[in-house]
Amino acid sequence: MKKSIVKAEKLTKIYIRGTEEVFAVNGIDLEIYDGDFIALMGPSGSGKTTLLDLIGCLDNASSGSLEVFGRNVSNVKESALVGLRRGHIGFIFQDFLLIPSLTAIENVELSLYFARRPQERKKLLQLFDKVGLGHCVNHLPKEMSGGERQRVAIARALAVTPKFLIADEPTGNLDTKSSQEIFDIFKKINKEEGLTIILATHNPKLGSRADRVIYLKDGKIVSKEESSLY
């Protein structure tokens, strides 16, 4: 039986916009198991990113409960969330968000430094080979293409051997070929290493390659499997 690593019940996140309350995530029930490959899909403003932020322990919920690795994190202080994220959750963003002054390998080393996990450069080089980046280990982000930068971001996320990976529109800024290649890397990691991956995407073709597809609309889950409702 698969082990549950994320369990959300009536999970709600409300933002205040002026005098109006906006339900970015509205009473979501969701359970994610070890080894899952889940795609969150839905139109802009449907709550994909907010849900990923909550699951990734980057933000607190307004109400409901959220358990990550069996610990209730729905209303935990940032200082405690850092400990949960550090070395357990990997993040990949649409804009890559690499540190521009650091080379590809230094960006990865920095995440290991923050995770308090010194790692040998030899192992890091193997990781770079794994994501197809062996040729630009010492390149600065500005010297790399969008696809290459996203691979560095993947290497950065994987270096700390996380328990699950959160990717927010990882192919949003990439061309079709690069998007396919990045998605192939995700599939490979999920299949070969059993790493849990939760990603948000607008691309139905890529989304359909995930094991489970969750469709969101107005902060609610409208379907957990079928793509016809989107």
Partner 1 sequence: MNVFSVAAKNLTRKKVRTVLTIGGVAIAIAVLVSLWGFDTGYQRSLNADIDKMGYQLLVTAKGCPYEAATLMLQGGGGLRYMDESVYQKIVGDPRIDKITPQLVATSYDPARQAGKGGVSLYMGIEKSYLDLKPWSKFKLGKWFSSDDADEVIMGYEVAEYEQRAPGDKIFIPGRNEVLTVVGIFERNGTQDDGIIFMPLKTTQKIFELPGKLTGIGIKLKDMRQIAKFEEDLYNVPGIQIISLAQVKGTILNLISSAKAMTNSVALIAVLIAIIGVANTILMSVFERTSEIGVMKAIGASRLDIFKIVWVETTLICIGGGILGNCIALFGGQTIEYVLKKVLPYAPKGRLVVITPDILLVAFVGALVMGLVAGLYPAFRASSMKPIEAIRKGE
Q: State the helix-helix crossing angle for 146-159 and 176-193, rounded to 10 degrees.
A: 20
53 versus 215: smaller Cβ distance to partner 1:
53
| Smallest gap from residue 94 Cβ to partner 1 (A) | 8
DSSP class of residue 75 equals T
4 versus 59: smaller Cβ distance to partner 1:
59
Strands lying side by side in the sheet with 212-217: 89-92, 164-168, 196-200, 37-41, 212-217, 220-223
Taking alpha carbons only, the member of 156, 151, 144, 78 closest to residue 110 is 156
142 versus 177: smaller Cβ distance to partner 1:
142
Q: Whole-angstrom Cα distance, residue 190 to residue 90?
A: 13
141 versus 147: smaller Cβ distance to partner 1:
141
Q: Whole-angstrom Cα distance, residue 68 to residue 8?
A: 9
19 versus 79: smaller Cβ distance to partner 1:
79
| Smallest gap from residue 164 Cβ to partner 1 (A) | 14
Number of alpha carbons in the 13 Å side-chain half-sphere of residue 150: 25
| Smallest gap from residue 40 Cβ to partner 1 (A) | 16
1 versus 118: smaller Cβ distance to partner 1:
118
Measured in whole angstroms, the distance separating CA 63 from the mean position of its chain's CA atoms is 22
Residues that bind partner 1 (CB under 8 A): 53, 56, 58-59, 78-79, 82, 85-87, 90-91, 93, 95, 97, 99-102, 106, 109-116, 156-157, 160
Strands lying side by side in the sheet with 63-68: 20-33, 4-17, 63-68, 71-72
Give the E-state strand segments of 34-126 in sequence order. Answer: 37-41, 63-68, 71-72, 89-92
| Smallest gap from residue 85 Cβ to partner 1 (A) | 6
| Smallest gap from residue 58 Cβ to partner 1 (A) | 4
**What is residue 176's three-state secondary structure?**
helix
| Smallest gap from residue 208 Cβ to partner 1 (A) | 27
